[in-house]
Chains A and B, each alone.
Chain A
Amino acid sequence: NAGVMQNPRHLVRRRGQEARLRCSPMKGHSHVYWYRQLPEEGLKFMVYLQKENIIDESGMPKERFSAEFPKEGPSILRIQQVVRGDSAAYFCASAPREASTDTQYFGPGTRLTVL
C-alpha cells in the first residue's frame, strides 16, 4: 500500500511565478491536509479538504494561496506570485474516509525555494 505521495520533492521558483504542489493521498483516504514548515520553525496547519470540498481553510493566507481536491486526481496547493517568504517545506497528510480520530499519514514534503 503506497503511502502519501507528493511531487515535486523540490521546486525552485523566481519571485512572481506560480508554484503548484501535488499530493496523492493513501488509497482509500478521502481527507487531505496541508501543512507548512518555515525554516527552523514548527509545522503549521493550512487547509483541510475532502473530495471537492474545503472543510477548514483557517490556516491559509488570505491572498495568493488556494487549494483543491477534485473528484479525480491529486490535491493541489497553488501559490500565485510567490515571494521569498513562501520558501518552506509543504507537507500533505491524508486520513481515511471514516476518520474519527486525528491519525494522519504524512507525505515526504515539497521543498519550495523562491529565488
Chain B
Amino acid sequence: DAKTTQPTSMDCAEGRAANLPCNHSTISGNEYVYWYRQIHSQGPQYIIHGLKNNETNEMASLIITEDRKSSTLILPHATLRDTAVYYCILGGGITGTASKLTFGTGTRLQVTL
C-alpha cells in the first residue's frame, strides 16, 4: 500500500541539477513530505522535509505543488557522491509524535561524468 510513487531510476550529469519527482495523491492534510537517501550500503540520510511551502537547505530544495499531490526534490549541482537511492516518504503530522518511516523502492539516481 505505497503512499508515494517514484520513478525507479534516473541519470544526471555531474554539475547539472537533479530533479527527482514524487507523487503522493492521497496525502492527508497534516502529513509532511520527507526525503531521505541511502548511499550504497550506508545508513539512510535525512535530506529535507516540508508541509506545503517550498523548502531549501544546504543539501537540496523541495518544491511541493499547491494541491500537495506531488513534489520534486532538487539537487542543484549534482556530484558523483550524490549517487544513491532517494526515498520520498510521508509522515509526521503537525501534532503527532514521531513514528515509523515507511520506505518504498525509491529512485536510484546515477550521477555520471
Instruction: Give me the interface of A with B, judged by CB distance under 8 Å.
Output: 4, 31, 33, 35, 42-45, 48, 56, 58-59, 89, 91, 93, 95, 99-109
Any A CB within 8 A of the CB of B21: no
User: Chain B nearest CB: distance from A19 CB in Å?
Assistant: 18
Contact in complex: B43, A100 (CB < 8 Å): no
Question: Which of B7-15, B64-72, B74-82, B90-98 lies at the interface?
Answer: B90-98
Instruction: Give me the interface of B with A, judged by CB distance under 8 Å.
Output: 32, 34, 38, 41-46, 49, 89, 91-92, 94-106
Contact in complex: A43, B44 (CB < 8 Å): yes
Contact in complex: A102, B95 (CB < 8 Å): no
Specify which of A58, A102, A106 lies most central, judged by the most chain B CB atoms within 10 Å of its CB: A102
For A43, the chain B residues whose CB sits under 8 A away are 38, 44, 101, 103
Least CB separation from B99: chain A residue: A102
For B94, the chain A residues whose CB sits under 8 A away are 100
Contact in complex: A101, B32 (CB < 8 Å): yes
Contact in complex: B97, A108 (CB < 8 Å): no
Contact in complex: B43, A106 (CB < 8 Å): yes
For B98, the chain A residues whose CB sits under 8 A away are 31, 95, 99-104
For B49, the chain A residues whose CB sits under 8 A away are 101-103
* Measured CA separation A31–B106 after assembly (Å): 25
Please pick, from A4, A31, A42, A44, the residue contacting B105 in the complex, using a CB distance under 8 A: A42
Please pick, from B43, B45, B91, B105, the residue contacting A102 in the complex, using a CB distance under 8 A: B91
Specify which of B41, B44, B100, B105 lies most central, judged by the most chain A CB atoms within 10 Å of its CB: B100
For A45, the chain B residues whose CB sits under 8 A away are 100-102
Contact in complex: B45, A89 (CB < 8 Å): no
